[in-house]
Amino acid sequence: PGIYVCVKCGHELFSSRAKYEHSSPWPAFTETLRGDSVAKREERPGALKVTCGKCGNGLGHEFLNDGPKRGQSRF
């Protein structure tokens, strides 16, 4: 339980309350902690490249409409 932060700069990214089980080996979240937690840019249809909102460290992707509920994203 708690807050997940950027390993590079300590910026707060996700809350454990937004974490859920997914078939991926990486942690999966439905939302960021705040609007400025991450920066996003389209990489391909349905997938956004996600970086730390403070230092730009690579965090993976946001997969649109791939969350636990219809219409939710998966980080």
Spatial distance between the Cα atoms of 12 and 65, rounded to a whole number of angstroms: 24
- 18-72 per-position pLDDT tens digit: 999 888 888 999 999 999 999 999 999 999 999 999 999 999 999 999 999 999 9
Q: 0.95 cut: is pTM over it? A: no
Spatial distance between the Cα atoms of 49 and 10, rounded to a whole number of angstroms: 19
Domains observed in the chain: 3-63 (2.170.150.20)
Are the C-beta atoms of residues 29 and 37 closer than 8 Å to each other?
no
Note the pLDDT of residue 49. Answer: 98
Are the C-beta atoms of residues 65 and 71 closer than 8 Å to each other?
yes
Spatial distance between the Cα atoms of 46 and 12, rounded to a whole number of angstroms: 25
